[in-house]
């Protein structure tokens, strides 16, 4: 009897091992395909530029962008611009994410307040935040604080609406069960509402990375004299498309790194 059980377990283990191998192969295939698409895209772009198939004045070329990156690295200006934009993005990201989370908790805690503010939140969400950027900067200040506030304003309303909807979507039976055991509202929030919305919170974090970068770039377009947004604006005003494309490329690389870090954090938290 025991021998039959062990044999059955061995068969299951082997099948499970094959299943894990298939998942790993699929993951590796997707990663390799993503890399190949990027590499072939760069090669095609450079080849088209060298053969004069495309107008390099309008599209630049990977070689020209690389030369400009090396030049900016050698004189140290790239790291200065990158550091400023990254710090502004991090500030706007945390302000928007934590602010939206706290407001969502406040609305969940005080239902009457949520009902009163519901139309105003919807209106704020429908307003173009980039169009309001000049007003926000004038209110908060013309320096880094204004840019950070612009970045936070773009993500805070989205965060509030997403998390508040998630809070209200938690099963009522779980909340009723805790209430029957005499749980306080804070205990319900801590033990049920927040844990049930961990996937929503992680999803919001990923989205807010991109939204924060948008806010920072818009703010730098308006008032900054340094940063990636400033480089892009200066390049477009002086018709230096190499500088514009370099700024866009660097921006994409940093956004990708932040996305990878957030995905790594998501896996760690879900595993925990």
The string of pLDDT tens digits covering residues 28-50 is: 888 888 888 888 888 888 888 88
Residue 4 has pLDDT above 70, yes or no: no
Residue 7 has pLDDT above 50, yes or no: no
CA distance 12 to 269: 29
Residue 210 has pLDDT above 60, yes or no: yes
Residue pair 163/188 in contact by the 8 Å Cβ criterion: no
**What's CA 34's distance to the chain center, in Å?**
19
Residue 180 has pLDDT above 70, yes or no: yes
Taking each helix axis as running N to C, give the angle between helix 62-74 and helix 241-271, from 0 to 180 degrees, rounded to the nearest 10.
80
Average pLDDT of the chain?
Answer: 80
pTM for this prediction = 0.73
For residue 254, what pLDDT is reported?
82
Residue 52 has pLDDT above 50, yes or no: yes
CA distance 199 to 136: 31
For residue 9, what pLDDT is reported?
47
Q: Give the chain's end-to-end CA distance (angstroms, integer).
A: 37
For residue 11, what pLDDT is reported?
52
Instruction: Kindly state the average pLDDT of the residues 2-8.
Output: 45
Query: What confidence tens digit (pLDDT) does each residue in 214-267 have?
Result: 888 888 787 777 778 878 888 777 777 778 888 888 888 887 787 788 778 777
């Amino acid at each position: 009897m025991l021998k039959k059980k062990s044999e059955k377990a061995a068969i299951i283990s082997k099948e499970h091992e094959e299943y894990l191998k298939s998942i790993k192969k699929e993951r590796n295939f997707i990663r390799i395909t993503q890399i190949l698409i990027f590499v072939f895209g760069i090669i095609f772009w450079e080849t088209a530029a060298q053969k004069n198939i495309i107008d390099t004045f309008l599209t630049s070329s990977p070689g020209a962008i690389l030369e400009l990156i090396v030049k900016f690295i050698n004189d140290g200006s790239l790291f200065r611009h990158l550091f400023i934009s990254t710090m502004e993005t991090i500030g706007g990201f945390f302000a928007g994410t934590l602010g939206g989370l706290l407001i969502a908790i406040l609305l969940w805690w005080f239902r009457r307040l949520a009902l009163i503010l519901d139309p105003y939140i919807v209106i704020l969400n429908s307003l173009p935040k980039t169009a309001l950027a000049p007003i926000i900067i004038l209110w908060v200040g013309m320096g880094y604080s204004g840019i950070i506030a612009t970045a936070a304003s773009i993500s805070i309303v989205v965060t509030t609406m997403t998390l508040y909807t998630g809070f209200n979507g938690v099963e009522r039976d779980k909340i009723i069960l805790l209430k029957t055991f005499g749980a306080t509202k804070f205990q319900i929030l801590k033990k049920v509402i927040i844990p049930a919305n961990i996937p929503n919170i992680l999803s919001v974090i990923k989205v807010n990375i991109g939204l924060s970068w948008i806010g920072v770039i818009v703010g730098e377009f308006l008032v900054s004299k340094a940063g990636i947004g400033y480089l892009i604006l200066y390049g477009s005003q002086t018709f230096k498309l190499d500088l514009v494309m370099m700024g866009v490329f660097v921006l994409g690389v940093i956004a990708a790194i932040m996305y990878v870090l957030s995905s790594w954090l998501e896996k760690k938290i879900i595993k925990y």
